[in-house]
């Protein structure tokens, strides 16, 4: 599929006299060229996606952070008391 810019260049080249430099043709085509509108533009992007198989990545929805409650000062854990050892009888 030929895009609109290339078609414009071809049309302008045919209208200009033979032997005109490519630079002059491009400058003349720039003045005449109009971007495609509506369905043509949409069709071009659809075909382009199908050919390249590239898709835009979706932005993930960010999870809202839950408000954390203020933490009160924790009391240090008490160490359990050691039991005295029992004496063995012989």
34 inside domain: yes
What's the mean pLDDT in 63-88?
71
Give the three-class secondary structure for 14.
Answer: helix
Residue percentage of the chain with pLDDT more than 90: 28
For the ranges 3-17, 32-46, 54-68, the maximum mean pLDDT occurs at: 3-17
Give the global pTM. Answer: 0.40
14 inside domain: yes
Q: Per the structure, how many domains does the chain have? A: 1
For residue 66, what pLDDT is reported?
A: 65
17 inside domain: yes
Measured CA to CA, the distance from residue 8 to residue 33 in angstroms comes to: 6
Range of the domain at 13: 4-52
What's the mean pLDDT in 65-87?
71
What's the mean pLDDT in 63-84?
70
Length of the chain: 90
**pLDDT reading at 67 higher than 80:** no
24 inside domain: yes
Q: Which two tokens stand for residue 45?
A: 């992007």
39 inside domain: yes
21 inside domain: yes
62 inside domain: no
């Amino acid at each position: 599929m030929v895009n609109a810019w290339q078609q414009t260049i071809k049309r302008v080249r045919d209208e200009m006299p033979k032997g005109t430099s490519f630079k002059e043709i491009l400058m003349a085509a720039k003045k005449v060229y109009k971007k495609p509108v509506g369905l043509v533009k949409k069709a071009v992007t659809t075909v382009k996606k199908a050919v390249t198989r590239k898709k835009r990545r979706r932005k993930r929805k960010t999870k809202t952070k839950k408000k954390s409650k203020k933490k009160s000062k924790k009391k240090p854990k008490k160490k359990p008391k050691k039991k005295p050892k029992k004496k063995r009888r012989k």
